[in-house]
Structure 1
Amino acid sequence: MKKLLALVLALTMVLSLAACGSKPATETPEGSKPAEGGAAPANFKVAIITGTVSQGEEEFRAAEQMKAAYPEMVVTATYPDNFAKEQETTISNVLNLVSDESVKALVFLQAVPGASAAIAKAKELKPDLLVIAGVTGEDPAVISPAADMVLNADELGMGKSIMEQAKALGAKTFVHYSFPRHMSVALLSGRRDLLKKTAEELGIQFVEATAPDPLGDSGVPGAQQFILEDVPKMIEKYGKETAFFATNCAMQEPLIKTILAGGAIFPQQCCPSPYHGYPGALGIAIPDDKAGDVDFILQETTKKITEKGNPGRMSTWTVPINMLFVKAGVEYAKQYLEGTITEKADMEAMKKICSDLAGGPVTMTKLTENGVDYNNFFTLLGSYYTYGEAK
């Protein structure tokens, strides 16, 4: 069981990536600004590879922001939307990035299936290349030896915290939406099992619901339409004290819309962040002078949810974790290449960078799998912000 709990860490977020379409602000979130570094050194560059806007807008925008912050230091590229079937393209794109002899570090987020193969090819070209992989889609035993550092949300912690938050928000029933492709992965089904176990311990009824796969015949529109139609049925069947969770990013906006309309409970998104799902679902426009202002987006979201009569029943993490990992990866690489940080996988140094970017302390731990310590695999757990409650 211990192995299974630890393994849940690796895939949950990235496999929810398929057809991810969150809508973050397009500027650096307050409390998540790049460190003041002046002009970038001329002797190195840091490369970032992310998904496209349609697959992972948060990390894509974070890469843009780091490019704007360090225009002479940062170079960027994306991997294909259908990354599962186009791993050779991912490898090619990575090699194109690192073929620039001035590139000394690579930040890979989300580290989709095939990332380890791409990293291996990059390391063949540049053995000393610093590689930081975030939100990984491969098992720890695969990605950890390939990358110098791996960053992931603490899915083990979330296995309890999501359900505990649902309980705190008044849930009596918990509906878990996923699909066979996700649940065929032991890591994702393992987290599902943890959620179910915690639900039983807390006296919450656990309901496993199967949704269409966004990579299937009906695509993203079909998966989203299913959520729009099925959530009201679930609320009618189980009541408003029902909490919902879905493993896919593209499902978050319709999920938030229908939960709010039905007065149900939403503890967090698959990728917890103030920018994931909520602005798009609630029609929140972010003016230029408020772009990247986390307090603004939290207040506006709270206002919308309160106006709709559902305060205190929907929440998220205060830290946009995918954006945080991109920015932290770049800042770590910069400090390492400048000589401020002397180790390729210094957890305390990374924790400090994450805390500084997040504007407050974060919890960071090393992954242990079945008695095996992964000294370069660090997991992060954020805190909840409940809309309609004071901070």
Structure 2
Amino acid sequence: MKKIPRLCCLLLCVLLIVSLLASCTPEEQPEPVDEPGGEVPAPFKIGIVTGTVSQGEDEYRAGEQMKERYGDRVIHVTYPDNFMAEQETTIGQIAGLASDPDVKIIAICQGVPGTAAAIDQIRQTRDDIIIVVVSPHEDPAMIDKKADLALDVNNLARGAAIVRLANAMGATKLLHYSFPRHMSMELLATRRQQMEEECERLGMEFIFVTAPDPMGPDGIPGAQKFILEDVPRQVEQHGKDIAVFSTNCGMQEPLITAALEHGAIFPEQCCPSPTHGYPGALGLDVSGIAGDMPKIVAAIEEKIVEKGGAGRFATWPVPINMALLRGGIELAILALEGEAELTNMEDISRILEQETGVSVELQRYSEDGNLFLALVGSVIFGLDN
């Protein structure tokens, strides 16, 4: 009977040892939780190719904006200013982006000559990249098929629209500046023809003036000098109720400057935008309100009215190439993530209206192609719009 207490003591000792060991076991730590806003590895990169500030500031700034929006996921490069003479460089800049296996989107604005060749080169090794082309310079029927998504202003509709706008602003004549290289581009040539036809329909005189090509020997400065010198000659000959228009981005600032100084009418730019030519022509610093289009439009309007141009200068309320580039990239991202269809008209409209904040009218270039053309209403400075 005396063995029972011994067994009890032994059992108690074992229990005590077990409990001591348990108390020494470290507490189980909870799984670490990522804090909101922590860095997440980028699933893919985005390559953006634009012109420089001298060739097209809006699209260059759009590239910068996307860099700010997506950080190191964006690789932004530029094509040469003299892209006509340096097509191999352009091709290399575009195709070079595809050498990074993480790049899944390449967006090009403007689609200068060499873009189609670069797409062909990319497709030899990469079929997993979405290629977006904005404002194609090459044959639209070709880009319509080669690009996964192409976006441009609707030059098929703008020809008549610009003439009607100029007429409503008081123009009796329309002067169209361009050069053979641009007139060899289908959409620009079609727009010119439509302008001429609409002028005839409205009883307006259509005047075509061949300007120096900025890709020529005198470059952009030579083309700008010509505009500054020719507009006053044309106003003196034809009167102040002449609307002036040019097909080249580099000519917009001197065209606005000369039109305002000599009293002509300026309906809109080749690539309509409040920031295309107006700030430079008006000596307006918009850096403090960059991106705030209503404030920029208001600032431009104040200057135009102050200088006596009320009702004679207009543009679109948004920088269209900037919006098309940003919208094209956003749509490509959503398409990669399975949240949108790249060539679905409703998806394109939705994204573009998010980027512009205004209604965008879309037209498909061909029935089953990938090129979509955008049209936006105008703002006439100094009038209630």
Give the TM bin, normalised by the shorter chain: 0.7 to 0.9
Q: In the alignment, what sits opposite 2:27?
A: none
Computing the radius of gyration over CA atoms, which structure comes out larger, 1 or 2? 2
Provide the C-alpha distance between the structure 1 equivalents of 2:347 and 2:306, rounded to a whole number of angstroms: 42
Indicate the SS of the match to 1:110: strand
Indicate the SS of the match to 2:382: coil
Q: In the alignment, what sits opposite 2:210?
A: 210
Stretch of structure 1 that moved more, 194-203 or 83-92: 83-92
Provide the C-alpha distance between the structure 1 equivalents of 2:89 and 2:315, rounded to a whole number of angstroms: 34
Q: In the alignment, what sits opposite 1:302?
A: 301
Unmatched segments (≥5 aa) in structure 1: 1-36
Contact 1:46/1:333, CA 8 A, preserved across alignment: no
1:383 aligns with 2:377: yes
Provide the C-alpha distance between the structure 2 equivalents of 1:147 and 1:185, rounded to a whole number of angstroms: 18
Q: In the alignment, what sits opposite 2:65?
A: 65
Q: In the alignment, what sits opposite 1:347?
A: 345
Paired amino acid for 1:376: N
Contact 2:172/2:205, CA 8 A, preserved across alignment: yes
Contact 1:365/1:379, CA 8 A, preserved across alignment: yes
Indicate the SS of the match to 2:315: strand
Deviations 1:293-341 (A, max 9, x none): 1111111111111111120111001121110111112211221122212
1:40-55 correspondence runs (5 A): 42-55=42-55
Contact 1:328/1:354, CA 8 A, preserved across alignment: yes
Deviation at 1:344, TM superposition (A): 3.4
Deviations 1:327-371 (A, max 9, x none): 112211221122212x33222211100011111221011113xxx
Q: In the alignment, what sits opposite 1:147?
A: 147
Contact 1:269/1:316, CA 8 A, preserved across alignment: yes
| Greater RCO structure (CA 8 Å; 6+ sep) | 1
Question: When the two structures are superposed, what TM-score results if normalisation uses the length of structure 1?
Answer: 0.85
Question: When the two structures are superposed, what TM-score results if normalisation uses the length of structure 2?
Answer: 0.87
Q: In the alignment, what sits opposite 1:4?
A: none
1:108-123 correspondence runs (5 A): 108-123=108-123
Indicate the SS of the match to 1:105: strand
Specify whether residues 345 and 229 from structure 1 end up closer, same or farther in structure 2 by C-alpha distance, changes over 3 A only.
same
Deviations 1:83-138 (A, max 9, x none): 22222222222232121111111111111111111011112221121111110011
Contact 2:94/2:115, CA 8 A, preserved across alignment: no
Q: In the alignment, what sits opposite 2:224?
A: 224
Provide the C-alpha distance between the structure 1 equivalents of 2:58 and 2:330, rounded to a whole number of angstroms: 17
Paired amino acid for 2:116: S
Provide the C-alpha distance between the structure 1 equivalents of 2:72 and 2:222, rounded to a whole number of angstroms: 43
Q: In the alignment, what sits opposite 1:364?
A: 362
Deviation at 1:41, TM superposition (A): 5.8
Deviations 1:144-194 (A, max 9, x none): 221111101100110111000001101001111112332344543332111
Specify whether residues 201 and 41 from structure 1 end up closer, same or farther in structure 2 by C-alpha distance, changes over 3 A only.
farther
Provide the C-alpha distance between the structure 2 equivalents of 1:135 and 1:68, rounded to a whole number of angstroms: 23
Deviation at 1:60, TM superposition (A): 1.0
Deviations 1:5-36 (A, max 9, x none): xxxxxxxxxxxxxxxxxxxxxxxxxxxxxxxx
Paired amino acid for 2:88: E
Provide the C-alpha distance between the structure 2 equivalents of 1:250 and 1:40, rounded to a whole number of angstroms: 41
Aligned length: 349
Q: In the alignment, what sits opposite 2:13?
A: none
Deviations 1:202-246 (A, max 9, x none): 111111112222222222222211111111111111111110101
Provide the C-alpha distance between the structure 1 equivalents of 2:39 and 2:133, rounded to a whole number of angstroms: 25
Provide the C-alpha distance between the structure 1 equivalents of 2:171 and 2:212, rounded to a whole number of angstroms: 25
Q: In the alignment, what sits opposite 1:87?
A: 87
Specify whether residues 123 and 54 from structure 1 end up closer, same or farther in structure 2 by C-alpha distance, changes over 3 A only.
same
Indicate the SS of the match to 1:271: coil
Deviations 1:21-68 (A, max 9, x none): xxxxxxxxxxxxxxxx99676221121111122222111111111111
Provide the C-alpha distance between the structure 1 equivalents of 2:94 and 2:215, rounded to a whole number of angstroms: 24
Among all aligned residue pairs of Structure 1 and Structure 2, give the percentage whose two residues are the same amino acid: 48
Specify whether residues 286 and 140 from structure 1 end up closer, same or farther in structure 2 by C-alpha distance, changes over 3 A only.
closer
Specify whether residues 357 and 344 from structure 1 end up closer, same or farther in structure 2 by C-alpha distance, changes over 3 A only.
closer
Paired amino acid for 2:290: A
Q: In the alignment, what sits opposite 2:24?
A: none
Contact 2:140/2:186, CA 8 A, preserved across alignment: no
Specify whether residues 357 and 41 from structure 1 end up closer, same or farther in structure 2 by C-alpha distance, changes over 3 A only.
farther
RMSD of the TM alignment (CA)?
1.7
Specify whether residues 107 and 41 from structure 1 end up closer, same or farther in structure 2 by C-alpha distance, changes over 3 A only.
farther
Contact 2:175/2:242, CA 8 A, preserved across alignment: yes
Provide the C-alpha distance between the structure 2 equivalents of 1:132 and 1:219, rounded to a whole number of angstroms: 28
